[in-house]
Amino acid sequence: MDIAQKRKRKEARRLFLTGECTSNAEIGRRLGLKPHTVAKYRKEEDWDGLTLKADRRAAQRIIESVVTERVSLETKHYNYWEALLRQVGEKIRANAGVMDTREMSELGALIEKAQRGQRLARGLSLDGENEQQIRAQGEAEMLHLIDVFIEAVKRYITDEQARDNIQRAVMETVPEEQAGGTGERQEPLAH
């Protein structure tokens, strides 16, 4: 392949991966290439796979940013509640024998509120359930729905090839972490 063709191929890849052009025909028109030549480049270099990887990396960066911001905010909230508890403790020590029942009740309410704030800042629910338990429950419910869907496909779709394709497509969309909790995808259910 000559240098001009290599440049056109590289430019075609850039146009597709940046989203400037989305169809082979459009890329071909821009660069003076035939659409089937662009399709050949696209298939050989797996541009669609590269786009998917880039989208996943961008999504992962966004998630990491959100998580970092959330952890930072939760740490600040926890520290604010900790400072409040410290001040309440100092007030109790300073006025140990002088406080009346109303003041003690108000301090007790402040302590309870601070403890609840700390639990929330740590990502814990007020009823004792933590984020991991909530996620595990959600994953179990999602896997149950997939099983129900696959059973319905088995019951109502008579074409075995179509049934296998649907089942495979569903199982491929399940994130690896959710497949049985082992990091491995589960095998599709037997017919």
pTM: 0.37
- Interatomic CA distance for residues 38 and 13, integer angstroms: 9
pLDDT tens across 25-69, in order?
999 999 999 999 999 998 998 888 888 787 778 778 888 887 787
pLDDT of residue 191: 43
Structure confidence at residue 128 (pLDDT) = 57
3-state secondary structure of 33: coil
Q: Report whether 134 contacts 125 (CB < 8 A).
A: yes
Q: Where are the alpha helices (DSSP H) in the chain?
A: 3-17, 24-31, 35-45, 47-94, 101-121, 131-156, 160-173
What mean pLDDT do residues 107-134 have?
A: 70
pLDDT of residue 120: 72
**Using CA atoms, how far apart are residues 18 and 46, in angstroms rounded to an integer?**
15
Q: Which two tokens stand for residue 89?
A: 């403790």
